[in-house]
Every structure is written in structure tokens, then in C-alpha cells.
Amino acid sequence: MVGLLFPGQGSQFVGMGKDLVAESPAARAVFEEADDLLGIPLTRLCFEGPEDELTATVNAQPAILTHSIAVYSAVQAHAGSVSLAAGHSLGEFSAYVAAGSMSLGDGLRTVRLRGELMYRGGQVRPGTMAAILGLDDDAILRVCAEASGADGVCVAANFNAPGQVVVSGDASAVSRCLEGAKSAGARRALPLNVSGAFHSPLMAIAVPGLAAQLDSIPFHDPRFPVVSNVTAQAVSDAATARRLLVAQLTSPVRWTACVRTMLDGGIRSFLEIGPGTVLSGLLKRIEREAEAKPVGTAAQVGALAA
């Protein structure tokens, strides 16, 4: 039983996919299709940067989805029988494309719009995010509640692993949360360089646009269940998937619980499909005995195929 993990925003890097495209015709076809569908030189941006342009939310999201699906196209025949998949935030869209719920074109257009909507949301209601290490989830929730007030809200946004949580909200409340976390014994509490308060109520402005986009495209039941960031439950039907992808904008990413669902479902072999190794590292923190194989470079794809 194989479980697929798809990385989210922040995993992008200049040069992503270049070696893979040189070696794999299937991966090359995905990048070429992405360029044609979006009408932008996405391949060149992935291969050459500049980094600040690739990192921009509106570009990073389609870039990561493209790389992830290129990898999946290259290894699909060698991945074994996929039982479950999960993606971290943006990665959940990659998972549904891989599962056949959305076409590559619809997936790319959707996540590019999602990036635009999230960026605009950050402009209309500016906010920020911060990482807190060394506190348990209950302590984080308590510190967030104490930091929220009439001038702003702070919520837990990403439960990435035990003792590793990201908070999100209005700058004033996040600042108070950082101080509260330090007082509560956090090992580290540091602000993140982001363009908005993602996975918080501040993203509500993006909800109607994403909902309309998902309603406008064909969306099929996935070929294999995808574990939702919002509920940490496996989703097998299109209607539930659409609803939860929209809810994800303003809800926390319950990544620790998502991984636990996959482990409880019998998954023992994990493949991280896409750029970087972030999710492989988080998996090890969630379950010491579990291990994921990162599959994102030509060498890693070749090793899996062999």
C-alpha cells in the first residue's frame, strides 16, 4: 500500500524540474503543456528564476503543481498501488490532479487564480504568519486565543508536526502571540516572510472566487482517496472535495492528523512527489518509524523506476 504526499508552497526553488525534463519525456510534456495552458514561460521561471518572481504566490502555486504532476507522470508506472494521497495546502490540489479529479489544465488555472485571490486577500486585509516550535497544540491554541482581541485575530494555521505549528492573522495579534509563546516556553517563535495571513479568517475574501472557479470546471471522484487538510479524513467524492478545497482557505492545515489518518489506514510506504523534502522530514517527526522517499529529481525518479 503506497501513500503519496504532495508538497505545498515554500518547496519551490530555482532549477526545479530542469534535470527531470532533460531525462523524462513524460515530465517534459507536462511542463510544455503548462506553458501553453497558462500562456506564461513557467518552465523558464522554474529553471532560471529569478527567485523572487518564482516565489511570488501567483507563480509558486502553478510551478509546484506542474513539477509535482511532471514527477507523477514520470513515476506513475513504478509507484505501485496507490491507496491514499495527501497534499499540504496547495499540494492537495496536486493530489486531486494526480487522482484524476481535475485535468492538468483546470488544476493549473485554478491554483493560479487561487494564488491571485490569496495575494489580493493579503492586500485588502494585510496579515502575517509566524512559526512556533516547542509547544504542544493545546498551548498554541491557548496562546492564540489570548493574543486575539478587538484589533486583530491570531489562529493556528498549520499543524505541521508535534511541536511545530504555524500561526496566522492580523500583525498586531500575531506579534502578541509570539511574545505569549515565548512566555509559555516555546523553543523558538519567529515571524515568516509571507504576503498574507493564509489559512485564517483573513482569507475569507478569497472564498467566493475559488468556489466559483471550482464550480465552473469538471470535477470527478478521485481514483484514490485524498485526505483533506480541513477534516483529516479521506475524501472519495467530488462534491465533498470541492467544498473542502474552498474551506481550506480559511481553515488550518491539520497535517499531523492527515499523516496519522494515512498511517491508521495501513500506509507504510510513502512517496513525496514534487520539489524538496519538507514532507519527508515532517513525516519522520510525526512517526519516527515511518519514512518517505522524496521523488523530485531525475536521479530519484530513476532510482524508483529501477
* Cα(272)–Cα(5) distance, integer angstroms: 5
- Give the confidence band of 78 by pLDDT, cuts at 50, 70, 90: confident
State the total domains in the chain: 2
Question: Active-site residues: which are they?
Answer: 89, 199
Question: 223 and 112 in one domain?
Answer: yes
Is the pLDDT assigned to residue 77 strictly greater than 90? no
Residues 98 and 236 in one domain: yes
pLDDT tens figures, 133-165: 999 999 999 999 999 999 999 999 999 999 999
With cell 486575539, the residue in question is: 148
Among residues 157, 179, 195, the one where a domain terminates is 195
DSSP letter at 126 equals: -
Handedness of CA 242, 245, 251, 256 (dihedral sign): positive
Residue 49: alpha-carbon gap to chain centroid = 21
| Vertex 287 angle, CA 282 and 288, to 5° | 95
pLDDT score for 162: 97
Query: Is the Cβ–Cβ distance between 157 and 167 less than 8 Å?
Result: yes
73, 132: one domain:
no
| Residue 255 · residue 10 · CB < 8 Å | no
Residues ≥6 apart with Cβ < 8 Å to 158 = 88, 89, 165, 166, 199, 252, 253, 255
Which tens digits make up the pLDDT trace of 172-208? 999 999 999 999 999 999 999 999 999 999 999 999 9
143 and 23 in a single domain? The answer is: no
- Give me the CATH number covering residue 218: 3.40.366.10
Do residues 111 and 143 both lie within one domain? no
Q: Which domain holds residue 103?
A: 2-122+202-305
Tell me which of 195, 223, 238 is where a domain ends.
Answer: 195
Helix (H, G, I), strand (E, B) or coil at 290: coil
With left for phi above 0 and alpha for psi between -120 and 50, is residue 128 left, alpha or beta? beta
Residues 165 and 295 in one domain: no
Q: How far apart are CA 73 and CA 295, in angstroms?
A: 12
Is residue 63 located within the same domain as residue 212? yes
The CATH number that applies at residue 179 is 3.30.70.250
- Specify the pLDDT at position 189: 96
Both 117 and 131 in a single domain?
Answer: no
Examine the domain organization and report whether 57 and 186 are in the same domain. Answer: no
pLDDT at 79 over 90: no
Domain boundary residue, one of 143, 164, 195: 195
Average pLDDT over residues 120-125: 95
24 and 76 fall within a common domain: yes
Q: In whole numbers, what is the pLDDT of the chain averaged over residues?
A: 96
Burial of 281 per CB tally in 10 Å (0-12, 13-18, 19+): middle
